[in-house]
Amino acid sequence: MAQTYACLSCNGMTVTTADRPADRIYVGTIRGMVTLERGPAGAPWSVVRETLTDRHVSALLNEPRSRRLFAAAHGDGGIAVSLDDGVTWRDSSSGLGHRNVYTLAVQYRGDATILFAGVEPAKLYRSDDLGASWHELSALLDVPNTELWNFPPPPHIAHVKNVAFDSNVPTTLYASIEQGALLKSVDDGTTWVELESYEDTSEDKFRHDIHRVLVKRSDPNWLFMLTGDGTYRSLDAGVSWEHTTTRDFTIGYPDAGFIDPRDENVLYIGGPKNAPRSWAVERAADSTVMRSRDGGTTWEERRNGLPSKIVGNFEAMGMHHAGAQLMLVAGTATGEVFVSDDAGGEWSIAATGLAPISKGGHYRWFLDAQQREVVESAMRGR
């Protein structure tokens, strides 16, 4: 019987679906991709393979139609593809003008499979041939105020962090720029506009720090946005927004988020209360997971079985849907993987001692001062 899998990486495929629970997890770390496997649901997980160990894997995408597994990397890593479930790899970066890749996404239009890659500096690439070649959607940079885009850590260059789609109108795309803008295209990337009505300079401590946007399949006018200043909700496809949670909330700096495919009123988010720079001061990010059953209006924690205080931030989360079952997976910047087979009702540890699972240099906040300076020096030299 073929194995079923979940993906755990900072900005790649976060949702997988199969007819049975996942027995494999692909994990992107700063030292490559780790494959975890288990027997029946509930059995212990174990590390069975480590590959791409010379790359900081930022995004994983397992494309089920072609059975191709893609791994994107920071720095000069580009994109690699595997045809044998991650055992061997080859380069898949032809046409990619910038190889510091932050995100990968897949969209299906009938028989067509379209891949998107977001990079630093903030540019968006598309592939219509399963990664054999890429071309830039250059109109992304035609919007006003791109000179204001900035990412606080060195070298202070913004990136495309996530891409989302309207499942009913496939030519409608959303691009999250960290930091700088939420962009929308209704013509397949030919033109873009910035959705900025959410902006409130009295609240927006990190200018337009857009992490990701969730779009309801049943109602694509309903958007849920996760940012460095909490969450926002729109009922009119981004024309207007309600600031549903702020930095004072339990998760003030949300990054990971999901809509429950079994009930689209149910949402899950993961992350810490405070932004990255405070993690070193507090010696912990103290991440948690929360669930809303009313579309993001009210929330409850879902952390039973998790440590009382989690040091490393939840840098990545994945969701695996198998019929009535929903599995959540969370990975930290200090190298732990936690799994819940019942949508956060009960968590267990799947792996410890892995290399950090980290967006960019976030993991540096959990190192001592000397180690952190080494990482920051490398970041400044990029």
Q: pLDDT, tens digit, for every residue of 9-59?
A: 999 999 999 999 999 999 999 999 999 999 876 789 999 999 999 999 999
Whose CA is closest to 121, among 147, 95, 98, 152? 98
Six-digit token pair at 247? 């930095």
Whose CA is closest to 125, among 153, 156, 93? 93
Task: Say if strands 193-194 and 68-73 run parallel, antiparallel, or are unpaired.
Answer: unpaired
Three-state secondary structure call for residue 62: strand
**Which residue reads 């990545």 in tokens?**
316
- Residue 205 pLDDT > 80: no
Residues 6+ apart with CB under 8 A from 361: 153, 375, 376, 379
In which band, very low, low, confident or very high, does the pLDDT at 204 lie, cut at 50, 70 and 90?
Answer: low
Find the helix or strand (DSSP H, E) in which 282 lies: helix 277-282
| pLDDT tens readout for residues 125-181 | 999 999 999 999 999 999 999 999 999 888 899 999 999 999 899 999 999 999 999
Residues 6+ apart with CB under 8 A from 105: 12, 13, 61, 115, 116, 118, 162, 163, 164, 165
CA angle 8, 261, 360 (to 5 degrees): 25
Cα–Cα distance for residue pair 183/186, rounded to 1 Å: 10
**More confident of the two residues 205 and 353:** 353
288: β partners: 271
**Which residue reads 């540019």 in tokens?**
123
Q: CB–CB of 134/93 below 8 Å?
A: yes
In which band, very low, low, confident or very high, does the pLDDT at 316 lie, cut at 50, 70 and 90?
Answer: very high
Query: Where do the domains of the chain lie?
Result: 5-380
Three-state secondary structure call for residue 370: helix
Three-state secondary structure call for residue 307: coil
Cα–Cα distance for residue pair 75/98, rounded to 1 Å: 9
What is the pLDDT at residue 203?
A: 54
Backbone CA torsion sign across 210, 320, 13, 234: negative
Cα–Cα distance for residue pair 3/21, rounded to 1 Å: 9
Strands of the 242-245 sheet, one edge to the other: 210-215, 223-227, 230-234, 242-245
Whether pTM exceeds 0.85: yes
Region 5-380: CATH code? 2.130.10.10
